[in-house]
Amino acid sequence: MESNSGRNGANQPEYGNESVKTGAPASTPIPSRAPGRKPDFNTLTKKLPEWILLEKLCDDLASFGTIHHLGTSFDSEYEFPLMGLSFGSKDPQAPTLGLFGGVHGLERIGAQVVLALLKSFSELILWDKMIQHALSQVRICFFPMVNPIGVLRQSRANPQGVDLMRNAPNHSSEKPTFLVGGQKISNRLPWFRGNIHNSLESESQALLDFCEQMFFQSRAAVTMDFHSGFGIMDRIWLPYAKSTAPFPHLAEAYAFKESFDRTYPNHIYKIEPQAKNYTTDGDLWDYAYDQFYARPKNKDSVYLPLCLEMGSWMWVKKNPLQLFSTLGPFNPLKPHRQKRILRRHIPLFDFLIRSVVSPEAWILKNPEQRAKFQMRALEHWYGKSS
């Protein structure tokens, strides 16, 4: 569902007016339908100030793009609409960039970074002729808080205890990493997959619906999903999560990496296949990628689903006491450090926009050129010479 709201918010999306398709796990009773209650302003200020910013940005940006009401997330106490924003070309084939955050509620820095980038974008769209011109050719979309109640309740999972990044109905052909790779035992344990045979969780469905609406007909698309909690450096992860085997667009991913390395030689990211670290079942981005290529018309299009895994261990190293708080292992807690993280990814955002405006830099049309990049990619990431 879409709605355009005015700057004064008079027509903002209403709360609690959508049916929810949740696949709640068998081990937990489905919470009774919530009364459609949004937390009051004081609660939001204390527990979810990111939501206040998101609503303000939706209001400010409504006349420049489209606000999408993608579904509803609820528990027994609260209910939130799932909100996406899109800007630019209405051509279904237009190259598209998508930024996603807050899939894992505990990793709230992910939602905060996407909101900070959206805030900068909300200013650029007012005066920057380069951005305005780019938007005549491409689409840029944001889904900053996929799991708002998870962020509010400081929980990795959604309100039904499901890890959204284990919730897709796809399976690894290999044995995924024990527990971390997704488990069906109980929603009281982390990495619970949910009832994948019934229907997706509303937040997962919203994410996939948004992808389908935004870029499933695009000739070039890049998505970046912002997470935190792994390692001491910022990593950009390539598919697959489900397999240690190279994914089909490894050559394009390597061309993308080389373009980034050449353009920003001092960038801070380690770019690598996720499965170099661990494998999982049910990854939503693996599923989106496979769904994209299940469409025969997309065989010559390129879609790169990327995840940014911010290296939270460096924040813990600088402030070990934060290990004793719930958010500590996943987020920068000192205000100056948080500010640093919020500005740290601006060059990446800049590069991502340019890479969808000029996808010729990494889309490999020539078979010989593609074979060359494939060989370099295999050598670089898999230590293979052919």
Which residues contribute to the site for Zn ion (CB under 5 A)?
A: 104, 107, 227
CB 361 within 8 A of CB 255: yes
Q: How many residues does the chain have?
A: 386
Q: Give the Cα separation of 367 and 251 in Å (integer).
A: 11
Closest CA relative to residue 329, chosen from 190, 236, 203: 190
Q: Give the Cα separation of 144 and 206 in Å (integer).
A: 12
Q: Give the Cα separation of 118 and 144 in Å (integer).
A: 8
CB of 307 to Zn ion, least distance (A): 8
Separation of CA 320 from chain center: 28
CB of 104 to Zn ion, least distance (A): 4
Q: Give the Cα separation of 64 and 122 in Å (integer).
A: 9
CB of 326 to Zn ion, least distance (A): 15
CB of 150 to Zn ion, least distance (A): 10
Residue nearer to Zn ion on the CB measure, 107 or 252? 107
Residue nearer to Zn ion on the CB measure, 79 or 107? 107
Residue nearer to Zn ion on the CB measure, 16 or 190? 190
CB of 90 to Zn ion, least distance (A): 32
CB of 242 to Zn ion, least distance (A): 16
CB of 192 to Zn ion, least distance (A): 14
Residue nearer to Zn ion on the CB measure, 228 or 301? 228
Residue nearer to Zn ion on the CB measure, 12 or 322? 322
Beta strands in the chain (DSSP E): 2-3, 66-74, 79-88, 96-101, 139-143, 220-228, 235-238, 270-273, 302-310
Residue nearer to Zn ion on the CB measure, 278 or 382? 278
Closest CA relative to residue 117, chosen from 358, 285, 361, 353: 353
Residue nearer to Zn ion on the CB measure, 94 or 116? 116
State whether residue 144 is helix, strand or coil: coil
CB 182 within 8 A of CB 201: no
CB of 225 to Zn ion, least distance (A): 8
Residue nearer to Zn ion on the CB measure, 306 or 353? 306
Helix axes 367-382, 250-263, angle to 10 degrees: 80
Q: Give the Cα separation of 110 and 151 in Å (integer).
A: 10
Q: Give the Cα separation of 376 and 383 in Å (integer).
A: 9
Residue nearest to Zn ion (CB): 227
